[in-house]
Structure 1
Amino acid sequence: MIVTPVRAVVLDIEGTTGSASHVYDVLFPYARERLAGWFAAHRGEPAWTELMEELRIHTGDPQLDEGGAVAVLTAWSDQDVKAPPLKRIQGLIWAEGYARSTLTGHIYDDVPAALARWRRSGIDRYVYSSGSVAAQRDWFAHSDHGDLSALLNGYFDLSGAGGKRDPESYRAITRAIGVPAPETVFFSDVGEELDAAAAAGWRTVAVRRPGDPRGPKVAGHPTVSALDDIRLHRPTRREEGAWT
């Protein structure tokens, strides 16, 4: 069991707090098949206008029309491109699904108890995912374990923090949450993301859920199969002094 003194926890979603297969087998297809319908239903509304402008900037095509936008987004969806405009519309479509109770966010059984335990210990709890902040909020608010919103302090996405394999993104989160890098721990199932966080001075814990085809370990990082395998606590004054 790993025991680590920290002030803040930052959690990935896919493969860490929730099933990656739920994202790829349920959420992505759900949004993809509704792209054209969303544009038609919201044509001329502020969200439609903002998304079209974002797509024109991102693609470098100032003449991009609605049909072209749907084609671009569909291609990005098929290729799993981590493009902010795609993440934005996926979040908007999923929000409608959550509101209609046709979608729920998958959360591993150990996660709610871990979040509650860390909250009792006075440790701040954040999420950092490639999905939009809105999509992250919906995932936890409409989870298969109920509304977990109260167990989280905040959310970060590609638009707000940057790419997850870039150390500067983690430095940006450090500045935003006001917790020193050595007192922050990042949980993820992706080695390159953990490497970037470590390069920014964060502590890291890899999560590899049972049955993950990539194997049970992540090179260079302590690895757990569930959040029950780690105990976190706020640093004592002596521990704080060791990091200054």
Structure 2
Amino acid sequence: MTIKAILTDIEGTTSSISFVHEVLFPYAASRLEAFVREHLSDDEVQAQLTAVSVESGIDVRDVDALCRQLLDWIREDKKITPLKALQGMIWKHGYAQGDFTGHVYQDAADNLKSWHEQGLKLYVYSSGSVAAQKLIFGYSDFGDLTPLFSDYFDTKIGGKKEAASYAGIVEKIGLPAEEILFLSDVPDELDAAAASGLKVCHLVRVDEVTKQDRYPVAATFDEVRATFALV
């Protein structure tokens, strides 16, 4: 069947893993404790700290311990929703100040624009919060790309290695699963998406990523276009 929508991961797919791990994560880690203390009275920050308390068992009044836990999660690259939300708040300040721009591969930007012009619906699914997703595309190296996307999904809909998450996304998109193409660099995510009936493609942008033989493989979005006849 014809592909009518594309659901894309960010890290390792539209954007480099090094940008996330060498720019975004250290930036948030270096500013996390000061940010939390400065915004303790903010309802949204308090809501996320409460969620950290529930997740970790740490007393919500123990700000020092909560910050230590958050920093541990950053070092461990944990995909935990309140951590991602707080990181997104910190990154928003960095983007707005011009401390960095969101890395997006040239081939990804070009093809996303082209597919949007063709009438394909574009969606994002990342472990980073929806707010953080909008920042990386809103302040991208190629300007504001957010108008290209119809919707964004994060771990609030479920883990990226769980088939039920993709079933939930399919329901929200409102198209048959087989008309949606999911792009990711993580084979376990592709397995989960395929189990829910989506078409999938494995983005392998760096040599050290292990290729699998279950699904089509592409090194760039240009190869995705050619493989699935998205012209």
TM-score bin, normalised by smaller chain:
over 0.9
What aligned pairs does 1:198-209 form with structure 2 within 5 A after superposition? 198-209=194-205
Q: How far has the Cα of 1:233 moved from its partner?
A: 6.7
Ranked by relative contact order (alpha carbons within 8 Å, sequence separation 6 or more), the top structure is 1
Q: How far has the Cα of 1:148 moved from its partner?
A: 0.7
1:122 paired residue number: 119
Kept in 2, the 8 Å contact 1:123–1:233? The answer is: no
Which of these two proteins has the greater Rg computed from alpha carbons? Answer: 1
Q: How far has the Cα of 1:70 moved from its partner?
A: 0.3
Q: Could you list the per-position Cα deviations for residues 68-123 of structure 1 after superposition, in whole angstroms to 9, with x for gaps in the alignment?
A: 11011011111111111111111110011011111211000111221122112211
Letter aligned with residue 46 of structure 2: T
| Alignment RMSD (CA, Å) | 1.5
Q: How far has the Cα of 1:145 moved from its partner?
A: 1.2
Say which of 184, 207, 212 aligns to 1:218: 212
Say which of 188, 195, 200 aligns to 1:192: 188
Query: Alpha carbons of 1:182 and 1:98: their partners in 2 closer, same or farther (altered >3 Å)?
Result: same
Q: Could you list the per-position Cα deviations for residues 198-228 of structure 1 after superposition, in whole angstroms to 9, with x for gaps in the alignment?
A: 000000011111x33124x333110011111
Q: For 2:182 and 2:5, locate their aligned partners in 1 and report how far apart those are by CA, in whole Å.
A: 9
What aligned pairs does 1:1-244 form with structure 2 within 5 A after superposition? 5-159=2-156, 161-209=157-205, 211-215=206-210, 217-231=211-225
Kept in 2, the 8 Å contact 1:94–1:103? The answer is: no
1:242 paired residue number: none
Kept in 2, the 8 Å contact 1:7–1:123? The answer is: yes
Q: How far has the Cα of 1:60 moved from its partner?
A: 3.0
- Structure 2, unmatched stretches of 5+, are none
Q: For 1:45 and 1:91, locate their aligned partners in 2 and report how far apart those are by CA, in whole Å.
A: 15
Deviates further, 110-119 or 71-80: 110-119
Q: Could you list the per-position Cα deviations for residues 173-204 of structure 1 after superposition, in whole angstroms to 9, with x for gaps in the alignment?
A: 01111111111110001000000000000000
- Bigger share in helix: 2
Query: Alpha carbons of 1:63 and 1:110: their partners in 2 closer, same or farther (altered >3 Å)?
Result: closer
Per the normalisation by structure 1, the TM-score is 0.89
Identity across the alignment (%): 41
Kept in 2, the 8 Å contact 1:32–1:74? The answer is: yes
Per the normalisation by structure 2, the TM-score is 0.94
Q: How far has the Cα of 1:62 moved from its partner?
A: 4.4
SS in 2 for 1:230: helix
